Structure 1
């Protein structure tokens, strides 16, 4: 059977791949996309979206428990974990189905199966019905990543879970250990802790949420501990002894090994790129620690082969993958393409309280040699935050003292994952402190704190 010919073949239909396919189709290309599991990838099916649905349930539950504070009555408050999970799966299913519709609408040909690249410009897809041979001048790798499994800490689905098991829990944990306090670990810790699990978080680095600004990490730790979480920093889980209904964790902290019993463990110790079984090594693609090495335009060094999203390295964020997908499609079409700069991409963590940031941390700005001005504003000084009953939080901004450039913004508190975009747009437009000071923020809103934080950096703060 003759090979089917396309202008572009995208391997992987997550938020990088499917967006690249849509953009390429908009630009008049004949596009094929290959997906071995679900349209929408991990993000829509087993990541960003279903976790947010579950976290929303725990947030509403938390608010119900606070009803009295708001002059409301709510008796017999409880939850049905199966129903919470069912809702999150329904949300994921709805969005995954929507991707199928988008592929049809944009005339993208979908092949469900596992892809290999036997030679440059060729893709072989193993489907349920046999093998499909495809050819294209350009190929985009968007195969994503999966949970890293450490020796001795492997998931079994019963006592030790990955994020996938945690999204479809076999039981409600009573005593939970979460290994790793990055976004995935801390979001699950937040969810299960809110629903009543006795939760311990172990982090190998010297602070929780280690990629965040140190001040935000410290604030978060205090908030988590107030909610009853136990946080162990500079700690390593050396091994897990598994019994019928419990796990004994050997945790090294401060040079001593302690043992603690748990009924459930969630391992969230990072991710590894899906680089295997594609034929990349034979093509001459350079792979470094499970990630494809690319230039700033996502080119692999093999003519016509690009890599985007998680497989191309940090930051491992859906919105970075999508933006790279658009950039590569534009590049292939001969349009002017802007490379994605990591420091322009916001990170959002949907724990309680939420955490969001963009740009450099205070430590990084100093390390890069900037003379800086730092502003801070607490939620307690904001009328809307107090009215919402969300007084716990802060906004921190970092400026270049010489030019007034906004170098970084870091937030913790209610809805900061929505607020951060104001600073992202500001940085994209190369705004200075003067522009931000002269912007009129609406009242009463949480966004006023963004204004006050800027004013504080220049000793002009009003409400503090």
Structure 2
């Protein structure tokens, strides 16, 4: 006999488990099926453990910069195994927390792989053996995504790593090649560089962090090079050759080919959606470039079937998945949630220096036909940043010159990933430059640079 539910969620990541909890809050009888770890890639193999590692590299950097603050220490060293172990412990703690939240909200959790098995039906298996048959009016697919694999750069668990292997390395490499300079690639490049490795970052496009504003990308590139990283842009990887304990990459830049050898290589060239073996065949669910197509309400075209998170379109971010989860569940419940505006989803990269942005870039604004007013404020003009010893970076704001709409905000520097939410709220509230200029920012804080960047766009900046 099939078990009956009002909603079944397939996938327990930041989209899936949030959807299940919100549905339970709305008094739906809810089930969640997860085949691996509650919390998904983000919590177990992405957002959280990488931040634990990056915190360790930040500490290592500070320990080697003590003289600037009047301190001295001898024989500064680290135990790499403990660094990795702490990262895994953090992920484990939070995965257990998700399990507790689901239990608290009376969500039924099935440990296994779910597959559509006819209208309103799901078959759950574990290691090929039946676990349960489920029937429901509503299904939310939140199966996430995995690393894209390029021919010749298949992860082997030893010399070539995806993000998974890079999170649990069996050794601290002395040298490293990172292919792909998006958020994942730049974060791993920054981590290993600050832990002491010689790092080469390779990007096929003409600049690193290509989705960011061009000025931000250029600043990070310069900062990485200053820190000792080799950065190659507009670079084509022609071949990868492995030996017993090293990787050699043949890379073409500006028509010239060079070979680079390192202990390890990380491939960070994007993601593909987990659309296989979930029963989409014979349904009205449409898949484009490995991702499920949905309308703004998360509906796939197949009656009763919805999709959210990394399985669907960009941006592929955990907080976007969680927001989609709540909106989709509330829509199923007959409520009237606001459909998500993807330009109001902030993006954060936790390299050194940190990068954060929301809205559109200056180039995109001009492409859309906006007459723009642009403000910039460097952290070298901010007292708190100077006191912290982190005066590098700047804040950039882009306004519509006619309406005062904040079209975009782009930041690079200390703790900008914590500050971007201020501009995100401003965009959500449809705030103009007038409200931002008349807002009182506390002193001394790094966030004062946000205020000054707005003032600068209108010729009223004070501290530069």
Question: Same fold, TM exceeding 0.5?
Answer: yes
Aligned to 2:382: 382
Q: How does 1:245-394 map to 2 (within 5 A)?
A: 245-394=245-394
* Aligned equivalents of 1:13, 1:338: Cα separation in 2: 24
Q: How does 1:26-175 map to 2 (within 5 A)?
A: 26-127=25-126, 130-175=130-175
TM-score normalised to structure 2 length = 0.99
SS at match of 1:226: helix
SS at match of 2:56: helix
TM-superposed deviation, 1:269: 0.4
Q: Deviations over 1:151-199 (max 9, x none)?
A: 1111101110010111000211111100000000000000000011110
* Aligned equivalents of 1:257, 1:299: Cα separation in 2: 48
* Aligned equivalents of 1:362, 1:297: Cα separation in 2: 29
SS at match of 1:173: coil
SS at match of 1:131: strand
TM-score normalised to structure 1 length = 0.99
- 2:7·2:28 contact (CA, 8 Å) conserved in 1? yes
Aligned to 2:15: 16
* Aligned equivalents of 1:120, 1:233: Cα separation in 2: 49
* Aligned equivalents of 2:82, 2:198: Cα separation in 1: 21
Gaps of 5+ in 2: none
Q: Deviations over 1:77-129 (max 9, x none)?
A: 11111000010000000000000000100000000101100112101000366
SS at match of 1:73: coil
Count of aligned pairs: 463
TM-superposed deviation, 1:257: 2.2
* Aligned equivalents of 1:42, 1:29: Cα separation in 2: 26
Q: Deviations over 1:383-431 (max 9, x none)?
A: 0000000010100000000000000000000100001000000111110
TM-superposed deviation, 1:275: 0.2
- 2:284·2:300 contact (CA, 8 Å) conserved in 1? no
TM-superposed deviation, 1:281: 2.4
Q: How does 1:438-453 map to 2 (within 5 A)?
A: 438-453=438-453
More deviation in 369-378 or 122-131? 122-131
> Alpha carbon RMSD of aligned pairs, Å?
0.8
SS at match of 2:315: coil
Q: How does 1:223-234 map to 2 (within 5 A)?
A: 223-234=223-234
Q: Deviations over 1:235-290 (max 9, x none)?
A: 02122111111111111111232211111000000000000001112212110010
SS at match of 1:60: helix
SS at match of 1:280: coil
* Aligned equivalents of 2:193, 2:281: Cα separation in 1: 44
* Aligned equivalents of 2:363, 2:221: Cα separation in 1: 19
- 2:57·2:194 contact (CA, 8 Å) conserved in 1? yes
* Aligned equivalents of 2:116, 2:422: Cα separation in 1: 42
* Aligned equivalents of 2:230, 2:72: Cα separation in 1: 31
TM-superposed deviation, 1:205: 0.6
* Aligned equivalents of 1:459, 1:74: Cα separation in 2: 46
Gaps of 5+ in 1: none
Aligned to 2:214: 214
TM-superposed deviation, 1:319: 0.1
SS at match of 2:351: coil
* Aligned equivalents of 2:255, 2:269: Cα separation in 1: 21
* Aligned equivalents of 2:62, 2:303: Cα separation in 1: 54
TM-superposed deviation, 1:351: 0.1
* Aligned equivalents of 1:238, 1:7: Cα separation in 2: 52
SS at match of 2:244: coil
SS at match of 2:18: helix
Q: Does 1:5 align with 2:7?
A: no
* Aligned equivalents of 1:161, 1:258: Cα separation in 2: 22
* Aligned equivalents of 1:402, 1:301: Cα separation in 2: 40
* Aligned equivalents of 2:254, 2:377: Cα separation in 1: 35
Aligned to 1:404: 404
